Structure formats: C-alpha cells, structure tokens
Amino acid sequence: MDINTYSNPLNERYASKEMLYLFSPHKKFSTWRKLWIALAESEKELGLNITDEQIAEMKANVDNIDFPYAAEMERKFRHDVMAHVHTFGKVCPKAMPIIHLGATSAYVGDNTDLIVMKEAMVLIRKKLISVMNNIAKFAVKYKDMPALGFTHFQPAQLTTVGKRACLWLQDFMLDFETLEFAIENLRFRGVKGTTGTQASFLHLFEGDHDKVRRLDITVSSKMDFDKVLTITGQTYTRKQDSRVLAALASLAESAHKMATDIRLLANLKEVEEPFEKNQIGSSAMAYKRNPMRSERVCSLSRHVITLSINPYMTHATQWFERTLDDSANRRISNSEAFLTMDAVLELLYNITDGLVVYERMIHRRVMDELPFMATENIIMESVKRGGDRQELHEIIREASMEAGKRVKSEGLDNDLLERLANHSGVPLTREEIDSLLEPSKFVGRAPEQVTDFLEGEVQPILDKYRDCIGLDVDIKV
C-alpha cells in the first residue's frame, strides 16, 4: 500500500475480491480481447478473409496483456482502445490486420460494460439469496415469539419476532424480483458501428443486410446474450445503466431499513448483531456494544442510493448519437454502486448469520405494555359477567391514565391490572384478569402469516437457487 496515495476504501476495507475482480483492468481488457475474437470468428463464419491461424493466435494471448506497453501506447495515441489494439497486435502480429475490423470503440467498451454488469448482478443475486436464506431461517425459529410491535416507534399491538423479520424479507423479495428483471432484460449493444447504423459492416459484407444482421446476433450469442438492442447510437442507451443502478438502490433502501430496525432493537436490548469476543465498542466507554455493522450497512446503503442518481442525469444529457461526458461519470458511479452493494450484502450476511435474541427482555417489554392492550378483552369479558360496556370503558380509561402517569412521571411499575381488580365496577378477580394476558393471544395470525409467506413465496426461490446459498465472508473491520 502506498501511504502517500489515496486508496479507495471500497478496495481496502469493504468490497469482496470477487466483485473487485469484475471491475479490474484485467477483467476489462481481457474481455475486450474476447470481444475482438468473437467479432473475428463471426466475420470469418460469414465469409470474410480471416484465417484460423489468426484466430488461434488471438485466443492464445487473451491474458497476455502488457499493461506498461498499453500505457505507453495510450500516452502516444491519447486513445485507450487504439492503445490496446496495438498492445494486442504486438503479441498477435498475424492477427493485427483484422483486429477490431469494422468496429468502433464502443464495440469493446460498451459491450464489456454490459458483460461486467451482468456478471456483477448475478454475484449480487447470489449474495442476496444467501441473506434471504438466513432471514428465512431466523423467521421460522422465532415465528411464535410474541414481541411488542411499534408504530411511530410507540408501543402498538403485539407481533412476533419472526413476523418482523418477514417485513425485512418481504422487501428483499421485491428487490429480488427487480434484480431478476434487470438481469434477464439487459440488452447487448452488439455490432453497430460508429453511429449505430452498421454502415462499416454493410460495406465489409458488400451490401448484404442479412449477413450484417447475423453478425450482430452471432457475436452477441458468443458473449452469452440472447437479447440485443436493435437500435443504438454510438453507445447503448444509458437508460440501461439507470435500470441497473435503480435495482441496486432499491436493494440498498431495504438494507438500510433493516439495519436501522436492528440498531433500534439493540437500543431496546431485544435483538443485537453478532459481537465478537475481543471487539471494542468504544475507545472510552468499555461497556459499549455498538451496532457497528448495521451502522455501516446504513452508511454504505446511502452511498448506493445517491450513486443511482448519476445514470439518470447522464442519460438525460446525452446528445443525439452520443457525447463523451458520460464516460468519466460512469467509470465511477457504475463500478462503485456494485462494489458498495457487494459490501452491504456481505455485512448483512454476517449480521443475519448470528443475530442475538434476548427473549426475556422481549417478554418483559411485552408484559409491561400488555395491560393497556388487554383492556378491550377485559371489557368484553366483564360485559359477559353482566357489566355495562360504557361504564367499564370509562373506568378503564381513567385507570389507564393514572397508571400511565405513574409509569411516566414517577418511574414506577404499571399497576393498571391491580387498579382494575380492586375496582368495584369490574366484575373480575386479578386471577381472571391475568388469564386474559397470555401474549400468544394477541399476535393475531402472525405465526401463520410467517408460514404462508415462507412456504408460498420465499422457499420456491431458495429452492431454485439452492446452489447459491452460503458465503465465506471476511469482514475486514
């Protein structure tokens, strides 16, 4: 590491080696060479004078990239594609005359970007599936455990720990659908020429439109794309970048929401992220157990969301067939969005693989608030015993106000149930009232909803992608 040169934290601290490689110079320029080979093979198959020897020479040197020489050529030509044409030609002298034949720079540049984005989305999908699997297992384990629900971060009706996890999982399910759509509908630029008219290829094939069509389809197929843009300018429409980064931003907002919930639950001492034996929560406060991974998820997720604005602005400001003011922006925003989302998912996998649940604290908070929630049941049971519903409502309202004041103003325990048991207008004993306070009676269909959701919607996806489940995650900090 050069301590005098800026190093992107995504490289040093956050992104995985797999994702870093996809956006590496070797991946980029070796893919350029594969595209040149696919072009030469297809042109040969369609009748151009290209030899097997030339193609074999190119295939033998896909990874033989002289990066210092390429840098020297780029300084000379001020053009990255021509620099690499000459670098490839240096080790492929027989093939040099036909490398990049009929193509424009966007042939290798744009098509490589699409190949890398597609592979990166597949890697993101793999990691998302593993996170979803962790959450699903957690939801099954805790589907019946009553927990205090919150609206406005104020106590509300009970839910279950597993049902709350399914709120997170539901969001990720929607993100999965968006990501699947983006992967399946990413269209290759293909072989289109300088302004997208395919004029150079029409000239090469002496006006044979059918051969030009077949060239476009054949090259795209060789690069594993079955969908190809029929219409392009010099570049593929940058609207494709918008669609892809929107899928990543959607995933980031779900990650942020989940991580925020975990941070709040950590403060409530109900659920915590994993905390390692020698981990230090604070340099000053030795007792601290800060939710640092969840905080980092939120921090990085915000970065993905902000990066997703760039392709909207870039596409909106492209002039006619293309301008180059997209290039520098895309080099940063597209790659960083993937690298950052990769880091987020690795963190989420680590968190969801070891969530700590404090069952007694959850039960204690439920029982602290349950007397207020049980008042409707107390009214209904009292009416069965001959009580007047309206009178009971007023008795309970007044008692609830007094009990609430006692808790908030005096810091004492909630004595609502004792007040009601001692009130002459309530025809129930304390034991009878207590029997109405079984938490499982207040969670509605939460356990059944968890089962229905997991079995009906989540499990089919996990089954389809079962080979993707499981990550070897190394959280660096």
CA separation for the pair 157, 164 (Å, rounded)? 13
Q: What is the pLDDT of residue 278?
A: 47
pLDDT score of 281 more than 90: no
In this structure, what token pair is assigned to residue 135?
């959450």
- Of 217-226, 235-244, 276-285, minimum mean pLDDT range: 276-285
pLDDT band for position 276 (cuts 50, 70, 90) = low
Catalytic residues: 152, 282
In this model, does residue 358 exceed pLDDT 60? yes
pTM: 0.92
Query: How sure is the predictor about 277, in pLDDT bands with cuts at 50, 70 and 90?
Result: very low
78-100 residue pLDDT tens: 999 999 999 999 999 999 999 99
Summarize pLDDT for 319-339 with one digit per residue, the tens: 999 999 999 999 999 999 999
CA separation for the pair 330, 311 (Å, rounded):
7
Homologous superfamily of 375-436 in CATH?
Answer: Fumarase/aspartase (C-terminal domain) (1.10.40.30)
CA–CA gap between residue 271 and residue 361 (Å, rounded)? 9
pLDDT band at 408 (very low <50, low <70, confident <90, very high): confident
Decide: 459 and 334 in contact? Cβ < 8 Å: no
Q: pLDDT, tens digit, for every residue of 283-314?
A: 444 444 789 999 999 999 999 999 999 999 99
- Per-residue model confidence (pLDDT) at position 1: 65
Confidence of residue 267 (pLDDT cuts 50, 70, 90): very high
The answer to whether 36 touches 99, Cβ cutoff 8 Å, is: yes
In this predicted structure, what is the pLDDT of residue 283?
44
Topology, domain 105-361: Fumarase C; Chain A, domain 2 (1.20.200)
User: Of 208-212, 276-280, 438-442, which one has max mean pLDDT?
Assistant: 208-212
Of 444, 435, 440, 433, whose CA–CA distance to 392 is shortest?
433
Domain with CATH 1.10.40.30 in the chain: 375-436
pLDDT band at 446; cut points 50, 70, 90: very high
User: What pLDDT does 432 receive?
Assistant: 87
Compute the average pLDDT of residues 233-255: 98
- Quote the pLDDT of residue 472: 83
Q: Does the pLDDT at position 275 exceed 80? A: no
pLDDT at position 220 is 98
Predicted pLDDT of residue 434: 86
pLDDT for 165 beyond 80: yes
pLDDT at site 414:
84
Average pLDDT for residues 17-35, to the nearest whole number? Answer: 97
Q: Which CATH architecture best describes the domain 15-98?
A: Orthogonal Bundle (1.10)
Q: Read off the pLDDT of residues 171-216 as tens digits, 9 standing for 90 and up.
A: 999 999 999 999 999 999 999 999 999 999 999 999 999 999 999 9
> Where along the chain do the CATH 1.10.275.10 domains lie?
15-98
More confident residue, 298 or 403: 298
Whether 53 shows a pLDDT value over 70: the answer reads yes
Residue 476 predicted with pLDDT over 80: no
- Give the pLDDT mean for 356-376: 91
What mean pLDDT do residues 107-117 have?
98
| Residue 56 CB neighbour total at 10 angstroms | 14
Q: What does the mean pLDDT of the chain come to?
A: 94
Q: Are 426 and 381 in contact (CB under 8 A)?
A: no
Residue 286 has a pLDDT of 41
Burial 202-213 (b: 16+ CB within 10 A, else e): bebbeeeeebbe
